[in-house]
Amino acid sequence: MDDAHRAAFKTLLDRRRAEVDQTLAVLQADLDGLAVARGDSTADDEHDPEGVTLSAEWSRLEGLRAQQEQERELVDAAVARWDAGDYGTCVGCGRPIPLARLRVRPMATRCVPCAERFER
């Protein structure tokens, strides 16, 4: 991978990390607001036929938060590979991961053939 592509992918990873951090902040604010609403003894959402329950919303937001935490871990691992000079190298076969794959999945650790074998 040439220097121009390396720099572009680093920018892409940094941007993705910032997006994940922003999403996590929004989710945490929503969870904090929901915690206040759950603590309000007058909130009787279990009998509200019009909307979702606070418990259901809490579960949904926690699931989204967990997904974003996992995404952040993947981005951080990709940045660590970039810093070590290993970014874009398949962990399965050691060959370069095609640029087209990295554009679609910038956190990819395997080329397509190795990823297919790994998932079987």
Contact 5, 35 (CB under 8 A): no
Burial per residue of 74-107, b for 16 or more beta-carbon CB atoms within 10 angstroms, e otherwise: bbeebbebbeeeebbbbeeeeeebeeebbeeebb
Phi and psi at residue 93, to the nearest 5°:
-120, -10
Phi and psi at residue 107, to the nearest 5°:
-100, 10
- Please name the residue that has the structure tokens 């036929």: 49
Alpha carbon of residue 14 to chain centroid:
13
SS3 category, 87 = coil
Structural domain boundaries in the chain: 3-87, 88-120
- Return d(Cα 80, Cα 1) in angstroms, integer: 17
SS3 category, 96 = strand
Residue pLDDT tens, the chain, 120 long: 777 888 899 999 999 999 999 999 999 999 998 888 767 655 555 555 555 688 888 899 999 999 999 999 999 999 999 999 999 999 999 999 999 999 999 999 999 999 999 888
Alpha carbon of residue 37 to chain centroid:
27
